[in-house]
Structure 1
Amino acid sequence: MHRAGFTAFDSDGLQPAQPPDNATALPAGPWGYLGTEAATTLGFHPPKHTLPRPDAAPAGSGEAYDTARVDCDRQAAERLGSPQGPGTELVGRLFQESLKAAGQDARVVAATKEWAGCMTTAGFEVTGPEALPQRFQSTPEITPAELAAARADADCTARSNLAGLWFAVLAGYQRQLIDRNAEALTAQREAVRAQDAKLTRLIAEAGTS
């Protein structure tokens, strides 16, 4: 941006000061519902967050500025690159395999059945934990019925220990898959580290230019 003539450019001013923490994540999933407090306020809707806007328009704002930003973003992406390829595809495939294996595991199946029975007793007929988010997220606003279902979900998750089992079983399958694909995953890890080192170098070079 400096070479393009915008010497006052420092940042776009749109990034939040702190990265989001786990409280911003949707607590419901195949593991049930995590967090009684979230259940009483969020239901199955994710928190609403908006990025802060800059106090003032960046120096030089306008069509030329926007064009330069697009071009600079493109150049940065080309220089940085990404560790795409077989390694990235493998990581995604193994993750999906671990999810499928966990969902079919007898321990998770039994806990899910217990969870469903608890939900039925609470007055909610559902086939599985993922059905509730799908049902309620289709509505724009949080309703009292949704909050009631979320509270029941959180209670039944705790009673059946569904979340504890689900995450433990998932981690076990993932460790097995990591061991079976150690060589390829090590290569992918090194590719990511090389990319991080390249990014650090490019930032340092930009700071001295």
Structure 2
Amino acid sequence: MRNALVVSCMRRAGYTGFSGDGLQEARPPDNATALPAGAWGYLGAEVAGVQGFHAHRRAVPEAGAAPAAGEAYDAARVDCHRQASDRIGAPPGPGADLIGRLFSESMAVTGKDERVVAATGQWSACMAAAGFGADDPATLPERFRTAAEATPAELATARADADCTTRSNLAAIWFTVLAGYQRQQIDRNAAALNAHREAVRAQDAKLARLLAEGDTVPTP
């Protein structure tokens, strides 16, 4: 909704064709768009055999009218972002910092957990037996990141990764262990996390009021 304030401001400034170009909308990841590997291994065999370790590319929308440019446009856009930030207020930073710290800690302790270490060892042995030496699922994709497209070698490695992840049960073990540690963190930090949740809700409600009071996006 913050982007809606910026779009509305730009249109009031005379840029009626402005639709939020360059503004990043939050969207949930899915198996077709997320990077297909992580600390726990591969997402699945179907994705592995098609895109390897490369993220799926969304279809590029057809080219429309060129966006406005120039000093006046840039100045208006900067000002609209500033106005949106001023009206909404600063995000509840301490809570966000806490969440980031807790997440990093949960990832670190999960990686050292003996159950995850054992499953990762089984995954590594499986990869070696298949002819693809690898010690760490998280770093395996880095071998192929510089290529513009997935190569046959990458697809073969990704298929082996998917198979070995299944055989070792690495993904299920990793996520189960991570969830367990995170539940403990939530219990230990319940008061601070609840306060952050309420602060975020209050900020969302404020933004909704701003939009309802007439800062909605006009129809072009």
Q: Return the TM-score normalized by structure 2.
A: 0.83
Please state if 1:6 is matched with 2:14: yes
One of 18, 29, 39 as aligned partner of 2:38: 29
Structure-1 separation of matches of 2:217 and 2:69: 27
CA gap of 1:77–1:44, structure 2 versus 1, over 3 A, is same
Deviations 1:26-70 (A, max 9, x none): 121111101111101111111223664673356xx4433342222
**What's 2:156 paired with?**
148
SS state of the match for residue 207, structure 1?
Answer: coil
The one-letter amino acid paired with 2:199 is A
Specify every segment of 5 or more residues in structure 2 that has no aligned partner in the other structure, as ranges: 1-8
Aligned ranges for residues 103-118 of structure 1 at < 5 Å? 103-118=111-126
**What's 1:131 paired with?**
139
* Equivalent pair of 1:87/1:188 in contact (CA under 8 Å): yes
**What's 2:81 paired with?**
73
**What's 1:47 paired with?**
56
Structure-1 separation of matches of 2:63 and 2:86: 27
Structure-2 separation of matches of 1:7 and 1:152: 52
Please state if 1:88 is matched with 2:96: yes
* Equivalent pair of 2:107/2:178 in contact (CA under 8 Å): yes
* Equivalent pair of 1:43/1:147 in contact (CA under 8 Å): yes
* Equivalent pair of 2:123/2:164 in contact (CA under 8 Å): yes
CA gap of 1:81–1:9, structure 2 versus 1, over 3 A, is farther
Moved more, 79-88 or 146-155: 79-88
Structure-1 separation of matches of 2:199 and 2:39: 32
Structure-2 separation of matches of 1:32 and 1:108: 11
Structure-2 separation of matches of 1:144 and 1:34: 18
One of 155, 160, 166 as aligned partner of 2:168: 160
SS state of the match for residue 216, structure 2?
Answer: helix
* Equivalent pair of 2:36/2:54 in contact (CA under 8 Å): no
Please state if 1:186 is matched with 2:194: yes
CA gap of 1:51–1:19, structure 2 versus 1, over 3 A, is farther
How much has 1:88 moved relative to structure 2? Answer: 1.2
Deviations 1:148-175 (A, max 9, x none): 0000000000111100111111011000
Structure-2 separation of matches of 1:29 and 1:77: 34
**What's 2:3 paired with?**
none
Structure-2 separation of matches of 1:75 and 1:124: 54
The one-letter amino acid paired with 1:37 is E
How much has 1:5 moved relative to structure 2? Answer: 4.1
Deviations 1:150-207 (A, max 9, x none): 0000000011110011111101100000100111111111111111111111111213
Structure-2 separation of matches of 1:80 and 1:2: 17
Q: Percent identity?
A: 58
Q: CA RMSD in A?
A: 2.7
* Equivalent pair of 1:39/1:154 in contact (CA under 8 Å): yes
